[in-house]
A and B are shown apart, each in its own frame.
Chain A
Amino acid sequence: MEENLPIYKKVKAISFGKISPKLIRKMASVKIVTPELYDREGYPVDGGLMDIRMGVIDPGLKCKTCGSKLKECIGHFGYVELARPVIHISYAKLILDILRKICRDCGVVLGEKLKPEEDAKEKKVDVLDAKKASARAPKTGVKCQSCNAKQFKIIIEKPTSYFEDGKRLSPIEVRTRLERLRDDDLPKLGLNPKVFRPEWTVLTLLAIPPVTIRPSITLESGERSEDDLTHKLGDIVRINQRLFENINAGAPEIIIEDLWDLLQYHVTTFFDNAVPQLPPARHRSGQPLKTITERIKSKEGRIRHNLAGKRTNFSARTVISPDSMLDLNEVGIPKQVAMKLTVPERATKWNMDFLKKFIEKGPKEYPGANYVVRPDGRKKKISDETKEQLLEELQPGYIVERHIMDGDISIFNRQPSLHRMSMMCHKIRVLPGLTFRLNPAVCAPYNADFDGDEMNLHIPQSEEARAEAEILMMVHTQLISPRYGLSIIGCNMDAISGNYILTKHMSIPKEEAVQLLASIGVDDFKRLPDKETVTGKEVFSVILPEDFSFTGKTREGNPVKIEKGKIKEGFMDKANLGEGHGLMLRNIHKNYGAKEALDILGKIFRLGIRTLQINGLTAALSDTDLTQKGKESVEKILADAKEVVNKLIDDYHNHKLDAFPGRSVEETLELKILETLNKARNNAGKIVQETVDKSKHTSIIIDSGAKGNVISMAQMAAIVGQQALRGKRMEKGYEDRTLSCFEKNDLSPKARGFVENSFKKGLTPYEFFFMSQTGRDSLMDTALRTPKSGYLYRRLANSMQDLKVAYDKTVRDASEKIVQFKYGGDGIDVSKSEGGIVNVKKIIESTR
């Protein structure tokens, strides 16, 4: 078996060269002499561009070179003998560099000092690249050190004409000069004589690509439509023939030159149809031809589109919508999708009857099957006609491609797939409707919302793929984020506020509690205390593991204590349940495992939502009402701030304001005003926080951490605050003022974007205008930043893509080179820590 062992080799170097005319002739199987494609019978002309010696694209024909049929023959090159040489556009710059660097008469590399023979041998050959060569281009007047010939300045007239001292150098002359270069001198120009002779860049022969890479397509009307490359080649051959004829007939030099230039144009656009100085060659319809460079280049080119881009079968895509009654590791799919996507199931003597049921139902009834694969690999579509026969034929070894059903494995994905949680394995649930359904709690890892987002679903087709997806990619395996070591999936919005209300305020009759628990999927009510009314804490405790103990803190820092699966103190909020927080979730995960944690999380989530359905949660206008006292103190704060600002402005005008070190007086004033106004807004916020009714729903939403913060409350109730554009108060607009309703050089708060009203009270027109300004600015900012950060991330991900942590905790790349001596500097696996920290104290305590 030794010959089957893999052989490891390292690529040391890759060398690129230019194909030589000799090789072109050698590898070609045809010499193309006529631009005609087909004769009257529609058969390819011998010596034409569709000559069947270059491969076949018609079914039934055989290749004259290799004798194989369509698809078997990979095609063969042909060649055209150009009547006059032309410059290869890709080498135009290199040719210029070389021409400037060598003697016009003897072809020696200019500027080298003449040294005795032995010295030259010892001297290390100084390899110059083409750029360096052009930088040292000799000026007019320099003489060759070897033959003493005077040198002239050579310029290029883009794209392909060279001029020496005002006279044009024809490609023939260019070629003869390049021919004079000796092989020994080539390394000095950065060229390898084994694979690259400079004169090969001036084409005398043109290789004609095989027809297989430029197939013609037959239109419905029976007409043939040729590939762009064939069109271009036809132009080249036609002009080339005309040039030949004119030369042989001894036509005047001008006509020959014109045709020569035309040939140069056609050959250039054959290689690259986007040369800046040339008009692109077009179809009759006016659309530019896609020639060789365009085929390879850019996003739609061969590399990024065909080689790096992949497409899949057994996948589906549609809009997503929420369904909190699904498990977190489930995905709801429409029946229509379920009837298109299939799972191959191999028939054995044990599952024959099971599989026959699917075939009986066929492709139109759910759950049926679409195809049957025979052991020889032949696929048979199940239809009303073939159904009976396939049923009879089915035996062990056959494969039935049955519709996907509840419990099948799938991989669910949302682009951009920025981290590994962007693709997770979900179990199928076939549901009515036309959208993919997912539990809103798994929106966080996908970064999904339901404003029209679409997601992709893939069905693994082999046993190995399914096992791998289930073991490595199932939602519960992705619970703890490797970025910060906390649960990335948690409760959000309603689930947080619901549990907050339940565990903080509520107590309900036991009957209702049982119903509540039953509705979220709990069926064991033993742990509910035997009382007439039970508290919300007791209800919540039922879903916790019986021996779970935990101490933590709420958002505001109050203690939370859970002992033996019962909440003893505190209540639930974002700090313990939220996505990316959830220390309680983290502890459940650690002590009871991922599956249990996911199950509990799903129950907590549903419990929160269900609680709100019973209790109700809404935002009333009166929620943001301030007390009379509160109103007065806000007004006082505002008036005080205004006074301070006015004082500052007066001081400034009276030159009494002292500048901060390193700042101008104007800057100091701005800073001081900003500080004063921000302080006023913050103080108003504090007043709001103190005076507003805590039992009101808007407050509950904010306090539980479900949505919003104190500032947004203050903006609704008291003061919106200063609008800032690029870190400064508003200043742009009219000359020396923001809006024409203010006086020039007015520095007062309201003239510079301070919104002193609340959203509830309503904004003045100019306040509204300032808000629109900042709103537009932030909109622009996000719109411009998103693609930038996306590209930055892509570069990072690509550069780090195959780094791995070795067994000795070093981080190494694919060639085992060390990147870090200890992973992350501290060797901590973040996904096994609590928020990136290993709590040693806790570990010691838990082992006691």
Chain B
Amino acid sequence: MDYDAGPVVRPYAMTQGRVAPSGGDFDLVAFVVATVPDLASGIQMQPEHHAIVAAAWEPISVVEVASHLDLSIGVVRVLLGDLRSAGLISLYEPPAATQPHDVDVLKAVVNGLRAL
């Protein structure tokens, strides 16, 4: 029932009102990987920062982070920007949009779908 009432804190309070990630934007399906345990960081860490680092111990996509932590994409991006600036995570962008998709990958997708 508390859930129905909506979040207690407005979403961008978590980012101190910032709406763009530091160091540039990244794709929804970019992968996030924690690089070091988050103990020694120079930034003011919020619980959500810690939660992201914990979730990213194995590679996880940006969209999965948002869904997993039930945070909006915009907020997650800002928090990821902080973590990247602090050197706590690496972000791996998907291959460039202009690059044609690998035929072997397409074949693997078709075969994988058939096997579902």
Partners in one complex: no
